[in-house]
Amino acid sequence: MFQNKFPQKIESGRPEIELPKMEKPEKIENGTGGLTEWKPNEDSIKKALEYFVERKVTKTSTTEKTIEIKQPIAIRMDMILPRKGGEWTDKPGNSDWVPNRDEIPKDRHGTNPEHKTWDEILNEYGIESIPFVDGYPDFSEVSRGQVKIDDFTEDRGANFAQADEKLAEQRGCTPQEVKAWREAHGYTWHECEDCKTMQKVPTEVHGNVSHSGGISVYKSQHADT
């Protein structure tokens, strides 16, 4: 009979670490007798990832000196990443997303009104792929303007209005003219994960690459407020 011999706690000095709880194991009905299969739930996997990342980072410091080592950040399970219609050059979320050039992205509220193929879109903006770093896209190559706003919220319209105003100050025009240019030329604002930076990017690229951005970060940071 299967017995759970895993301890509920690991005592390794300070602090005492609570192991994530697993769901009740289910028996495998394939002639293997009493073998069982652990099926961790989503919450337990998230906690395990957070634990390993924390341990990896804190162990870079010693009493003699601090060694700064850039550690890869675990991609959160709730992050939105492209899954279909292309491929990653390496690890998903930490490499380049290369769309299938012969595919025609669906038009979702103006993201591809002319029904262009990815080949046409990529060629128009002179790019081969969309780089991702730590789960977030980098649209710098196709950006036609970048600003930092002062009061970032989950209200996308308010963020856009602030970005229009900031860019208008840079260009010596009015916010209304910035907005009119964006809408006439098919550009939108990308809200970066720092919840400050706004990039003016083509809607054809931005709207057809699944991703998380500043809004999702803001919501996670203010989930309990």
Q: Is 33 helix (H, G, I), strand (E, B) or coil?
A: coil
Total count of residues recorded for the chain: 225
The whole-number average pLDDT for the span 142-150 is 98
pLDDT, position 184: 97
pTM above 0.95, yes or no: no
User: If pLDDT is split at 50, 70 and 90, which confidence band does 78 have?
Assistant: low
Q: Is the pLDDT confidence value at 58 over 60? A: no
CB 189, CB 152: distance < 8 Å = no
**Rounded to the nearest 5°, which phi and psi values hold at 9?**
-135, 150
Closest by CA to 85, choosing from 55, 34, 130, is: 130
Mean local confidence (pLDDT), 5-34: 48
Mean pLDDT of the chain: 79
Domain ranges of the chain: 1-74, 86-221
> By C-alpha distance, which of 155, 160, 211, 157 is closest to 189?
160
Q: Between the ranges 26-35, 85-94, 212-221, where is the mean pLDDT highest? A: 85-94
Distance between start and end Cα atoms, the chain = 47
